[in-house]
Structure 1
Amino acid sequence: MGLLKSSSVSPELAGQSKTVPSIPSTPPSAVPSRTASPMSASSKEEKLPDGKTPDDSSKLRMFLSILKRFIGVTDIAAARFSLPAQLMEPIPNLEYWHYLDRPEAFIAIGDSEEALGRMLGCLRFWFTKDLKYVHGKPCKPYNSTLGEFFRCQWEIEDTAPSIVGEESKMNLQQTVSAPAGATTKGKAVKVSYLTEQTSHHPPVSAYYVDCPDKGIYARGFDQLSAKFTGTSVKVTAGSYNQGIFINLQRRGNEEYQMTHPAAYLGGFIRGNLYVTVADTCFVTCEKTGIKVILEYLEESYFGKTQNKVQGVVYKCDVAKDKATRIKDVKDDILARIEGTWTDKVYCSLGSAEFKKVAEKDRVLLVDVNSMRPVAKTCPPVEDQLPNESRRFWKDVTESIQTKQFTAATNVKQELEEKQRTRAAERKAQQQEWKPRFFTSATESNGKPELTEEGKMAMQGLHDGRFRLEEPQEYAAM
């Protein structure tokens, strides 16, 4: 399987706004289609009671009728209710969440020689990590099973320039220095990704991203809490999800913590699902003493959400700083952020209010309007273990793609029943499940640690060696 390679720097990442050729998106098996999957000529369509094939509106009506049962439930994510297959997109949950829709933005975070430039690099990555919500409708992937894991890799050219400050691209033992904003051509680098479902009650997964060529890695726990209000679903980070932690090894191990804002899934009444964000999140680096407060504003104009975001970048004692709102920050302001997280986001250097800075003096932080997710590469099917996401859900995925929804639901329920059976057996034997690739199901500091097997799996991805030994036992099989 080949890797997608960009032949030149993306203008959206280079601070330009001109039109560029579209980037091929990830194959249907990796990024969920927003329309019904084509049916093979030999398969039969699954019919609803009214004789119609499920469409988006009928799916939403059915989904809404199920959600109504959870009004008042504190956390429907923890309830882990099982949806019929026709309401789900054919993609595993562990593959759906990875935050690396544009990995070239991730690997360029540490390039700037200035601390402010590196923080702005973090913000550029932040706004590119979830393009699935910018260009497509949200979907419901398969619930992860305990012990299930997913791994993949991206191979990309290191061409995203520094936003502020001279840059030093330490790429495959080759250093290229250039002024901020200049286009530099670097050798292809690999970004490897590994995630494992480490807990089922509550549902928690650990993930690890590594780019040895650039000396940058990221890690964290994914756990969501969801509450249905009657018109929308509010999704927040669970207690074990303390954000994304990024480490720059070649910058004295600078660590950046990026917390997640609350999001809202709406559109049930109109039959058109959409995601809005109306919350505050933070990006901090104790080593450089820089903090960012981002405020997402749910402003509406004739009923249409504007998806505005604004922020402030400032110096402080990060460990002691208590500011939680932009208006609380008065001193040591380095830059301001403003724009639309589904389109263009700008920054202005200095403490002046953004609206008072001339347009020519504003820096385009990122333009996500014409961006699409970069394709990932997974190990060949013959090198995947039975509990590896794509192989584990293979029969369900194929049934959904051919619209055999009854068959898909039956297989899905069989897999879920096996997990319940294995859990009951362990409970009866007073056995506690232990993750394979991570040292524990959760960590109090929100930072998962790789086991020796986890480190070997990551190194194997980087070296192109995908074969893994069978585990001693499977948690859900």
Structure 2
Amino acid sequence: MSSTSATWTSFIKSIASYNGDLSSLTAPPFILSPTSLVEYPQYWSEHVDLFLAPNFIRQEANDIDAVELKHMVAVLRWFISTLKSQYCSRAESLGGEKKPLNPFLGELFLGKWTDQSASKQHGDTLLVSEQVSHHPPITAYAIENKTNKTVLQGYNGVRAFMSTTALNVRQYGHALLEYQNLKETYLITLPPLHIEGILMAAPFVELEQKSYIQSSAGYVAVIEYSGKGYFSGKSNSFKARIFKDIREAQDKTKALYTISGQWSGVSKISRGNTLASDAQVFYDANAQKAQPLSVKPIEEQGPLESRRAWQKVADAIRANDYNLIHQEKSIIENEQRELRKKEQADNTTWKQKFFDEIDYKSLTEDTDETGYIKLAKMANLSHKNVPSGTKQDSSKEQGAEEASHWRFNQEKFDTAKLAF
């Protein structure tokens, strides 16, 4: 048996017998990705044209659908376009899912998508991502297009546990997508997932259960995920239905639109609650080229910016130098421990740069400027700190008292005058 195989077997045994949250468990160097988790929010807007598309949809005289419904269809198309890069691009490019580097507290990732539209109506789209918590690990992010007054903000944390053959991951957090010119906001929840192929040393992600998109106009999209089973099914499969509101969603026959297919491949759309034989293509993940994010050269980045901070570790990972990976990671980790000790000695705490933690227990629908409480209520979703997409009054919500969430601070961002 090779040393890598032996280490892999040892790692599998260790996580199989581990009772706690696996998300921060130290992984063997050979399954590490050279990319920090703080970079992952870039996948939300790799298709800038789809991200901004609702801004350019107008009500036509012969339209059957309300313009708000057309907006919802466009938002759902954009959401499906984000999944391939988020959840299976590494398995395709690296031969298997890799564990991203755990961001350190205060780690930043900044970038922009330049306007590549023929009409030049997009303008630049900016990304700021920040590690706002280390225990538990939480990444907050905002994507802003000032030209079209469009802002996506959200945060993500994960908790993982091992079952017999797969690593199960529950995502915490959500995203709020605001089209200010349209006076519309969307609440987007994050689906649970599991990582299969671990026993074969070829991990890959499958999404599971449901996620939701709730529009301030009332429309709701319910996305159900399924994967390839032992005897049937296709990998990365989903079926989404759009309803007039969450009450209508209790009856699938009342669906206004049905979309079905593979989020990593082709999906199709039909009116009503079933997919018609002549259904049109909704989205083709293999035909749509992602627009890469533009990031400053490493030498121009600050010490907290991700690619500069992790450069030596990332280079060691690419070189498969396991001793150097351990050495360089230890330097960063020890620096962080010393910072926490100093803060404790000085009776201070780390101050986040662009995001604030908002306690929603002290807010009502009328005092919540983000609209989150109203949107969660419209979708019958819990607004407490529970797994994303948890329904109100479900067993998962019982005993959960905290209701604090991370929100983008526009004033801090504008004052910083960042160079992208």
1:157-306 mapped onto 2 (5 Å cutoff):
157-158=116-117, 185-187=119-121, 189-238=123-172, 241=173, 243-252=174-183, 254-286=184-216, 288-300=217-229, 302=231, 305-306=234-235
1:89 corresponds to 2:33: yes
1:378 maps to which of 290, 295, 310: 295
Deviation per CA, 1:289-335: give whole Å up to 9, x if none: 1111111123526366433211221112xxxx467xx663454x421
1:307 corresponds to 2:251: no
Deviation per CA, 1:110-167: give whole Å up to 9, x if none: 32221111111111111111323344412211101011111011124347xxxxxxxx
Residue 176 of structure 2 aligns to which amino acid in structure 1?
Answer: F
| CA 1:100–1:89: 2 relative to 1, 3 Å | same
| CA 1:309–1:322: 2 relative to 1, 3 Å | same
How big is the shift at 1:439?
2.8
* 1:341 equivalent in structure 2: 263
Kept in 1: contact 2:141–2:408 (CA 8 A): no
| CA 1:455–1:190: 2 relative to 1, 3 Å | same
**Alpha-carbon distance between aligned partners in 1 of 2:182 and 2:122, rounded to the nearest angstrom:** 21
**Alpha-carbon distance between aligned partners in 1 of 2:239 and 2:185, rounded to the nearest angstrom:** 23
**Alpha-carbon distance between aligned partners in 2 of 1:199 and 1:216, rounded to the nearest angstrom:** 26
1:453 corresponds to 2:383: no
* 2:393 equivalent in structure 1: none
* 1:109 equivalent in structure 2: 54
Residue 225 of structure 2 aligns to which amino acid in structure 1?
Answer: Y
**Alpha-carbon distance between aligned partners in 2 of 1:441 and 1:396, rounded to the nearest angstrom:** 34
| CA 1:59–1:442: 2 relative to 1, 3 Å | farther
| CA 1:85–1:197: 2 relative to 1, 3 Å | same
**Alpha-carbon distance between aligned partners in 2 of 1:329 and 1:186, rounded to the nearest angstrom:** 41
How big is the shift at 1:188?
5.6
* 1:36 equivalent in structure 2: none
* 1:118 equivalent in structure 2: 71
TM-score normalized with structure 1 length: 0.70
**Alpha-carbon distance between aligned partners in 2 of 1:385 and 1:135, rounded to the nearest angstrom:** 28
Kept in 1: contact 2:355–2:406 (CA 8 A): no
**Alpha-carbon distance between aligned partners in 2 of 1:451 and 1:298, rounded to the nearest angstrom:** 39
Q: Secondary structure of the equivalent of 2:15?
A: helix
TM-score normalized with structure 2 length: 0.79
Kept in 1: contact 2:313–2:325 (CA 8 A): yes
Q: Secondary structure of the equivalent of 1:439?
A: strand
* 2:397 equivalent in structure 1: none
Residue 388 of structure 1 aligns to which amino acid in structure 2?
Answer: E
Q: Secondary structure of the equivalent of 1:196?
A: strand
**Alpha-carbon distance between aligned partners in 2 of 1:139 and 1:85, rounded to the nearest angstrom:** 10
* 2:378 equivalent in structure 1: none
Higher relative contact order (CA 8 A, sep 6+): 1
| CA 1:406–1:121: 2 relative to 1, 3 Å | same
| CA 1:231–1:425: 2 relative to 1, 3 Å | same
Kept in 2: contact 1:100–1:130 (CA 8 A): no
**Alpha-carbon distance between aligned partners in 2 of 1:62 and 1:400, rounded to the nearest angstrom:** 20
* 2:101 equivalent in structure 1: 142
How big is the shift at 1:366?
0.6
Deviation per CA, 1:410-437: give whole Å up to 9, x if none: 1101211221222122223321221012
| CA 1:342–1:327: 2 relative to 1, 3 Å | farther
* 2:345 equivalent in structure 1: 428
How many pairs are equivalent?
363
| CA 1:413–1:203: 2 relative to 1, 3 Å | same
How big is the shift at 1:95?
1.1
1:63-78 mapped onto 2 (5 Å cutoff):
63-70=11-18, 72-73=19-20, 75-77=21-23
Q: Secondary structure of the equivalent of 2:35?
A: coil
1:408 corresponds to 2:351: no
Residue 102 of structure 2 aligns to which amino acid in structure 1?
Answer: N
Deviation per CA, 1:333-378: give whole Å up to 9, x if none: 42122122221122212x3x324x341xx23221112344322111
Kept in 2: contact 1:60–1:268 (CA 8 A): no
| CA 1:63–1:214: 2 relative to 1, 3 Å | farther
**Alpha-carbon distance between aligned partners in 2 of 1:100 and 1:62, rounded to the nearest angstrom:** 38
State the superposition RMSD in angstroms: 2.6
**Alpha-carbon distance between aligned partners in 1 of 2:237 and 2:143, rounded to the nearest angstrom:** 29
Kept in 2: contact 1:154–1:376 (CA 8 A): yes
Kept in 2: contact 1:108–1:158 (CA 8 A): no
Kept in 1: contact 2:357–2:404 (CA 8 A): no
**Alpha-carbon distance between aligned partners in 2 of 1:60 and 1:186, rounded to the nearest angstrom:** 50
| CA 1:84–1:456: 2 relative to 1, 3 Å | farther
Kept in 2: contact 1:198–1:440 (CA 8 A): no
Kept in 1: contact 2:207–2:226 (CA 8 A): yes
Runs of 5+ in structure 2 lacking a partner? 59-66, 92-96, 361-402
**Alpha-carbon distance between aligned partners in 2 of 1:426 and 1:134, rounded to the nearest angstrom:** 39
Runs of 4+ in 1 over 4 A off after TM superposition: 57-60, 185-188, 441-445
